[in-house]
A and B are shown apart, each in its own frame.
Chain A
Amino acid sequence: MIKAENITKQYRADMEHRGIRDVSFAVSQGEIVCVLGASGSGKSTLLRCLAGLEILDKGSVSIKDKKSASYVSQEYTLWPHLSVLENLTLAPILQNKETKESAESEARKLLERFDLKEYESSYSHELSGGQRQRVALLRAVMVKPDILLLDEITSALDPELTKSVLDLIRALAKDGYTMVVVTNHLSFAMSLANRIIFLKKGKLAQDDKVFSFFSAQSDPEIRSFVLDIAKKDDSIEIFKGLEQYQAYHLQLIKRLPENSTIYVAGAVGDAWYKPMGEFYTQYESLRHKKHIAWKMVTYDQGETDKRLARENPELNQFRKMSRNIQNPANYNVFGDMVITQIFEEEPTIIQVKNQNIADAYLRFFEELWNSAS
């Protein structure tokens, strides 16, 4: 659907070269790709190149049908002299040669679906930031594109307004649009994207499936970036260091309801037990008392895993997955939460509280479980 080959676009800003260099990737139909990266890493330039708004220094972008890609930027770009309805219908009338009546009826349907009907006669300055961005998104949808290119469209909004825009993008994703989304909303990217592209100083540093990107991040710089933006996300909490790590797991086992299950996808064998130290015994006895099961899929079982499975197969269900399966490594799902764990010198837990993400991870876990033996 989209194929970018060695695209390069450089310009000077703040006395240094900015832009992107030799970026190549492809996006298939229906795929949702989130672009992450620090400020100035070239995310917006990349999207502007895909949208055809920049003349490339080098490389090429091919899109199945150039007219099928609509771009929405972080700036509020509603035309201020036109009402919401006129903003939505101008391009379909002029470009798609639709009649005014049919374009207006379609626009009204969209406005109604996304709770903006009462604003059809309003002008841009009469709307809130969130409403403006939602209208800008719907305006992009009105020309019936196959691809939506969204450039940090929530960056100027407060959390409440951001939610309304992200909900709209989720709804459009369900409608089957192919999307390339620049965002720094981690939980949003985790719940929506199929793939993550990470840019570092204008270069493509990683292009990975979303599960692998967040859970099996080997690049320390990217990992620290992810932790940084996670701190700004309301639904994400980070627990760092041995004490917090142990306290987190003990609290978790205390607050989980009896007879619940913790789903674990991991590759690390016995790595979990070590940082738990002396608290492991306390954790284990509580878990048995509350009858909380572990359902775990890994490449290899550690010695402790094997022993536990022998002693209590009901509470310790382990399966081994084939090495051929790309492993998202080390995430746990329980209720509406997903945690990923990093076992370094300072063990770290990233906890995401989001039902959509938990559901998505659980579905992925089930696939792994069913393919494992």
Chain B
Amino acid sequence: MLIGIPFGILLGVIAGRYSRELGGIIKGARFLTKVIPVLVLLFWLHYPLQSLLGVVVNPFWTTILALGLINIIGTAAIVVMELELLPKAYREAGLTLGLSSNQIIRHIELPLLVRRTTPQLLLNQAAMLEYTLFASLISVPELFRTAQSINAMIYKPVEIYSLLIIFFLIILVPLHLVVRFVQKKYIAQYD
């Protein structure tokens, strides 16, 4: 999340405003991340690629790299799409009233973009959280693998996996509620 959101937004703004080619690359990459399952990508980065390059990287960093990339691409794609959808007329209205490009970005486009992208970015982060579970399969001691290890030691699957569900509920339910709230609050404005 720390990597994906700032870098994704930066990349998205550059692609959406200044480089059509970069926008095309991001859309292409987004398509690839949609059609290649995360688990396959993670495995490919962990085994075949490292064996091809003759290096060994800690699976934790492989996971960071894979999910970071997916997150950056996902975030950038959302920003590019929303920038494309942002009606040109808002900018033109500002220009004809004498506002500078910077004033328009700061007072009109950025606030609008934040409102429009927030729900999608939050949903993207929720998906990323779920993707981290796949990291257990390449031996990263994330939440699921830790639960598995504890269960192997004390064998209390009902309690442990129920706790895991509660943990995800505690994190994801408020996140989805925030998404619904933001969508409800701002969606009417763009009808």
What residues of chain A have their CB less than 8 Å away from a CB belonging to chain B? Answer: 51-53, 67, 69-71, 73, 75, 77, 79-81, 90-91, 94-96, 123-125, 136, 139-140, 143, 149
Contacts and interface: CB of A to CB of B under 8 A. Distances in A.
B190 to A, nearest CB: 6
Given A75-B89, A77-B90, A79-B108, A52 B189 contact: no
B97 A143 contact: yes
Given A91-B99, A94-B103, A140-B97, A79 B90 contact: yes
B96 interface: yes
Contacts of A149: 96
Contacts of B94: 91
A167 B190 CA distance: 28
Interface in B67-118: 87, 89-90, 92-99, 103, 107-108, 111-112, 115
Contact of B98 (A79, A80, A91, A125): A91
Contact of B92 (A53, A95, A96): A53
Contacts of B107: 90, 94
B97 A95 contact: yes
B89 A77 contact: yes
Interface string B13-32: 00000000000000000000
Contacts of B190: 80, 125
Nearest to A86: B107
Nearest to A67: B98
List 8 A-B pairs, minimum CB-CB distance, nearest first: A91-B97, A71-B96, A80-B189, A77-B93, A95-B98, A77-B89, A75-B89, A125-B188
B159 interface: no
Given A77-B90, A91-B99, 20 more contacts: A51-B96, A67-B98, A71-B92, A73-B89, A75-B87, A77-B92, A79-B93, A80-B112, A81-B115, A81-B189, A90-B108, A94-B107, A95-B98, A95-B99, A124-B189, A125-B188, A125-B191, A139-B93, A139-B97, A140-B96
Contacts of A139: 93, 97
Nearest to B92: A53
Contacts of A143: 97-98
A208 B111 CA distance: 46
A57 B115 CA distance: 37
Chain B binding site: helix, strand, loop or mixed by DSSP?
A: helix
Most buried by B among A51, A67, A95, A96: A95
Contacts of B87: 75, 77
A77 B87 CA distance: 9
Given A123-B189, A125-B188, A52 B96 contact: yes
Contacts of B95: 52-53
Contacts of A81: 108, 111-112, 115, 186, 189
A69 B96 CA distance: 7
Contacts of B115: 81
A91 B87 CA distance: 19
28 contacts: A52-B96, A67-B98, A69-B96, A71-B92, A71-B96, A73-B92, A75-B89, A77-B89, A77-B92, A79-B93, A79-B108, A80-B190, A81-B111, A90-B107, A90-B108, A91-B99, A94-B103, A94-B107, A95-B98, A95-B99, A96-B98, A124-B189, A125-B191, A136-B93, A139-B97, A140-B96, A143-B97, A149-B96
Contacts of A80: 112, 189-190
A6 B8 CA distance: 46
A124 B103 CA distance: 21
A309 to B, nearest CB: 56
B136 to A, nearest CB: 42
A125 to B, nearest CB: 5
Contacts of B108: 79, 81, 90
A79 B98 CA distance: 15
Most buried by B among A53, A79, A90: A79
Given A80-B112, A81-B189, A94 B99 contact: yes
B98 A53 contact: no
A91 B96 CA distance: 10
A87 to B, nearest CB: 9
B108 to A, nearest CB: 5
Nearest to B186: A81
Contacts of B98: 67, 91, 95-96, 143
B67 to A, nearest CB: 32
B83 to A, nearest CB: 16
